[in-house]
Each structure stands twice: as structure tokens, then as C-alpha cells.
Amino acid sequence: MSVATQATVFLAALAFVWPFVGAIGVAAVPAPRSREVALWMAGLGCLLSVVVFMFPAMGGNASGWDDDPVQRAGRVMLAFGLLLLVLENGVMPDRLLRSLPHVCTALAGLACVAPEPAVGLGILEVALAWGVFVFTRPAGQAKTGWGLMRTGSVGTMLVLSGLLLPQGSTVCGLMMACGLVILTGLAPFGQFWRDENDSFLFLPFAGASILLAMRLRGHGGMAFEMALVAAGLVSVWLTACAGRSRDRQRLFRTFPSALALMAVGVEADVAALLFLCGWCLAGGNRSTRGWAVNVLACFPPGAPFVGCLLLLSVMTDWSWSVAVLTVCGILAAVLRAVPDREAARLFWPEDMAGRVACSVLTVMGFLVPLAMMLGAF
């Protein structure tokens, strides 16, 4: 094994371990300094994931760890999502809570690369358990924690039983699609998102579920893909129907993940990656901010806008009628559901986190299609 190969293997391993190191470091230092340490750790994690994407370790397939370029790029998105989570939150006194996003991102990254999708599901279940344990430690949270645990476990069980059925059968595809929709927390189907803190756990968790969906496609077959597209379409149209009312903003928050699931269904993996980028950097509880609204509604420039174009170009080959329905759904959702027009008009945000997010999204929107044209995916 040459030195270069050894170096790439070492870097790939380091990129997996790094968020865990970050979690330990953040939990170990005293609270006032923790934010600074977390920023450094998350920033270095982003750098590492980008380096691993550009110089992949060869021979990974031989050892059973599945690693294709799309999954590697997905881990870059997850790493940037972690950086943004750290940037926009202040100093947190609770040790476990402030290390939680690092742990969840690390487990999500491991879940995407596990040798079998079932193992990935197990890792996601561990992430869910740890997150629920950390959230529900304060008094009065037990019932909320049980709700999260119950919904997540139901999703895992559905996907697992789909994996047990014969490959490519209708029942198998439907079961796996239902499970994945619940794991992603797609708005009318999943019941995640009850608390502000939830985004620490569920941004990486839902991102990893989307990446896992790409790998389950081989087992699910046609019914799986059609069910994913149908679920995404229903979610997009329901977002459009729900309109602008306050209590229905939950639907608008998961707009990019609905589009990402549709992209997975029509095998437009690069479009799914771009939506994943939008989800990691603008999803969750950020939907009240102007720049995040812009990103969620797929306004240009930004990764989700490019993702929309890619998705529609692939979808017209898949089915014309579904493509027309999707375009109408997206337009209706943008016209009817985008909240607070005044805030959304502001392009360059004033806070640091928003600026980082906007620049990363714009750069990704240019770089990912460029990498696709150069043959990286």
C-alpha cells in the first residue's frame, strides 16, 4: 500500500472519528469556552469532509464499507449543517446538550456508510435514543420523549420489515417508503418537531435518512420509488393548501425534505444532495428568518433552486404528468405558503450564521452541478 493510499484511508477514518472527538472536547471544556472549541471542531470537520470528498480512499469497497461519491458529498452537507448549528446557538451550560449535535452528526455520517442499510438503521436508532435521553432529562419532558422515541422506532421497524420481505415486491417497497417518510419527519406524516432543541437531533437524523433512502432503492424496487414520489407530492401540495397560517408552518419547514424524497424517488441523486444541503443549512427551527425562508422556498441563488431545476429535468423523463403536478405544487406553495414577505426580501442577512449559510448554499449551488458535469458523481 503506497503512502498516498494510506494517507487517504487515514483521512477517511479521521473524518468519521472527528465529530466524536469534537463532542468529547466540547463536553470537557468549561461552558464559556465551549462555543469557541465547538466552532473550531465543526470547522475542521467541514474541512476534513471536503478533503475526503476530493481524495477518496480506494479499496473501501473491498472491506465492505460502501462509499460512493454521493454519500461522501452528503457527509459534506451534514458537516456544514453541524457548523451552522454551532454558529447560531449561543453558549449552552448543559454539557450533554452542547455535545449532542456533534454526536448526532457523527452517528449520521456512520449510518450513511455502513456496509448494509440495516446496520445504518441501527446506528440511526442509537442516535435517536441518545438524543431523546439528552432532551428528556429535565423534569416534565418524559411524555414528549416517549412520543419522539415511539415515532422513530415505528419508522425503523417499518423499514426493517421491508428489508425482510422479498426484494422488489410491492409490499416491501410500500413498507420501506412509509418507514423512511416517518424517519425523515415529512410534515403531515411524521410527528417530530415539538421543541426548539429538536433541531440538534433531527437535522442530521433526517439528513441521514434521506441519504439512506438512496441506498435502499436497490431493495425497494419500483413501488418504493413511486411511494416516495407520491409522499413528496402530497406533502408539497398540502404545504400549498395550508397557506400562511402560524400553526401550519410545520409543513413549510419540511419543504426541502419533501423535494429531496421526490428526487430520491426519480433517481436524481444530485438534486437530492442539493435539497439536503438546503435542509441542513436552513431547515428545522430557522423558518422564521428571512434568509432561511428564501432558501426553503427555493428562490435563486442557492442550492435548492438548482436542485429544483435538476429534479424537474430528470422528472420529465420519468413522467410528464407528475412533473407538471410538481411544478404546479411548487409554484402554489411558493405563492401561498412563504411567510413574512418583508423579511424574505432581505438577501444578505445581518447575523454571522445567516451569512455563512447563504455563502455555503450559493457556492454549493454552483459547485455541485459543476462536479456533476466533470464526472464526479
Partner 1 sequence: MTLVAILVPLVALCVVARGVGFLLLTGVVTALAMLLDGLTPLQEAGASLALLFAVAPPVFLTRYQHDATHERSGTAVPFFALGLMVLLLLGCGRAGSTLFPAGLCAMVAGLVTVVCRQSMVWQWAGLLTCIEGVLLSAVLGRQPVVLGVAALAGVVVVLLGGMCIHRIMPRVVAAHSPARQSRRTKPATGGKDT
Q: Rule CB under 8 A: which residues touch partner 1?
A: 116, 118-119, 121-122, 125-126, 128-129, 132-133, 136, 139-146, 149-150, 153-154, 156-158, 160-161, 163-166, 169-172
Cell numbers representing residue 106 in the block: 457523527
Task: Please say which residue, 103 or 364, places its beta carbon nearer to partner 1.
Answer: 103
Task: Please say which residue, 141 or 362, places its beta carbon nearer to partner 1.
Answer: 141
Cell numbers representing residue 269 in the block: 441523486
The distance of closest approach from Cβ of residue 61 to partner 1 in the complex, given in angstroms and rounded to an integer, is 18
The distance of closest approach from Cβ of residue 258 to partner 1 in the complex, given in angstroms and rounded to an integer, is 22
Task: Please say which residue, 145 or 243, places its beta carbon nearer to partner 1.
Answer: 145
Task: Please say which residue, 131 or 369, places its beta carbon nearer to partner 1.
Answer: 131
- Which distant-in-sequence residues (6+ apart) come within 8 Å of 371 by Cβ? 73, 377
Report the SS3 class of residue 58: coil
Rounded-to-integer distance, Cα 126 and Cα 208, Å: 13
Residue 164 dihedral angles phi and psi, to the nearest 5°:
-80, -20
Single-letter amino acid, residue 10 = F
Taking phi over 0 as left and psi of -120 to 50 as alpha, with beta for the rest, 338 belongs to beta
49 in Cβ contact with 75 (< 8 Å): yes
Rounded-to-integer distance, Cα 291 and Cα 26, Å: 28
Rounded-to-integer distance, Cα 294 and Cα 217, Å: 31
The distance of closest approach from Cβ of residue 42 to partner 1 in the complex, given in angstroms and rounded to an integer, is 27
DSSP label of 116:
S
The distance of closest approach from Cβ of residue 248 to partner 1 in the complex, given in angstroms and rounded to an integer, is 22
Task: Please say which residue, 64 or 375, places its beta carbon nearer to partner 1.
Answer: 64
- Which distant-in-sequence residues (6+ apart) come within 8 Å of 341 by Cβ? none
- Determine the distance from the C-alpha atom of residue 318 to the mean position of all C-alpha atoms in its chain, rounded to a whole number: 24
Task: Please say which residue, 55 or 133, places its beta carbon nearer to partner 1.
Answer: 133
Rounded-to-integer distance, Cα 349 and Cα 86, Å: 17
314 in Cβ contact with 274 (< 8 Å): no
Task: Please say which residue, 106 or 178, places its beta carbon nearer to partner 1.
Answer: 178
87 in Cβ contact with 289 (< 8 Å): no
The distance of closest approach from Cβ of residue 65 to partner 1 in the complex, given in angstroms and rounded to an integer, is 14
Task: Please say which residue, 44 or 157, places its beta carbon nearer to partner 1.
Answer: 157
- Residue 254 to residues 127, 139, 206, 283, 336, Cα–Cα distance (Å): 20, 29, 10, 7, 15
The distance of closest approach from Cβ of residue 217 to partner 1 in the complex, given in angstroms and rounded to an integer, is 18
The distance of closest approach from Cβ of residue 160 to partner 1 in the complex, given in angstroms and rounded to an integer, is 5
The number of residues making up the chain comes to 377
The distance of closest approach from Cβ of residue 358 to partner 1 in the complex, given in angstroms and rounded to an integer, is 36
Single-letter amino acid, residue 278 = G
Residue 210 CB-half CA count within 13 A = 40
Rounded-to-integer distance, Cα 328 and Cα 56, Å: 40
Residue 196 dihedral angles phi and psi, to the nearest 5°:
-60, -40
The distance of closest approach from Cβ of residue 172 to partner 1 in the complex, given in angstroms and rounded to an integer, is 8
Task: Please say which residue, 171 or 324, places its beta carbon nearer to partner 1.
Answer: 171
The distance of closest approach from Cβ of residue 154 to partner 1 in the complex, given in angstroms and rounded to an integer, is 6
Task: Please say which residue, 70 or 148, places its beta carbon nearer to partner 1.
Answer: 148
